[in-house]
Amino acid sequence: MTAIRRCDTPLGPCLLAGDEAALTGLWFVGAKHFARTLPEDARECRLSVLDDAEAWLRAYFAGERPDPKAIPLRPKGTAFELAVWTLLREIPYGQTTTYGALAQALMQGSGKRACAQAVGGAVGRNPVSILIPCHRVLGRDGGLTGYAGGVEKKAALLRLEEIGDFSPKNESRREAKRGV
């Protein structure tokens, strides 16, 4: 059985999902792909993994650096998505990478070619936001690109981790340089 719980964060409400063994979902309410892997029979109830995830989120948003490996995760996805999400978990707090770099790392790890767009699709379908840090992936020029929870939330998460100045004013300048 999958348990769910709504959790408020400074960036808006999230939905947590999990079972007896692991957290299976963490979505910003209303995000693209919201709860897409959530079973229909999921229901609200107490579960220690949800308590732990909520405590982790409180510490994270308080500016602490809680260990993301302290929360057992079991996201549901294709083999390719799982490989991408595994790479995302290796991006350290306060650092970023690009979709192209992830594609290169996949190729080096498996010998299979992957394009940055395919990696971007898998990143966007990440069902465990923040703990699987898809917000740390930037475009090739270092600018913000899509984020299922919204680019404003992505920018706020990066600012929280003190990764550059992704204020709306600076993003507008970056877009102007790119000709967007």
Catalytic annotation, pick one of 7, 14, 45, 134: 134
Give the three-class secondary structure for 141.
coil
- Buried b / exposed e over 103-114, threshold 16 CB at 10 Å, is bbbbeeeeeeeb
Q: What is the pLDDT of residues 104-155, one digit of tens each?
A: 999 887 777 888 999 999 999 999 999 999 999 999 888 888 899 999 999 9
Q: What is the pLDDT of residues 3-47, one digit of tens each?
A: 999 999 999 999 999 999 999 999 999 999 899 889 999 999 999
Residue found under tokens 């993003």: 171
134 catalytic, yes or no?
yes
CA distance 22 to 48: 9
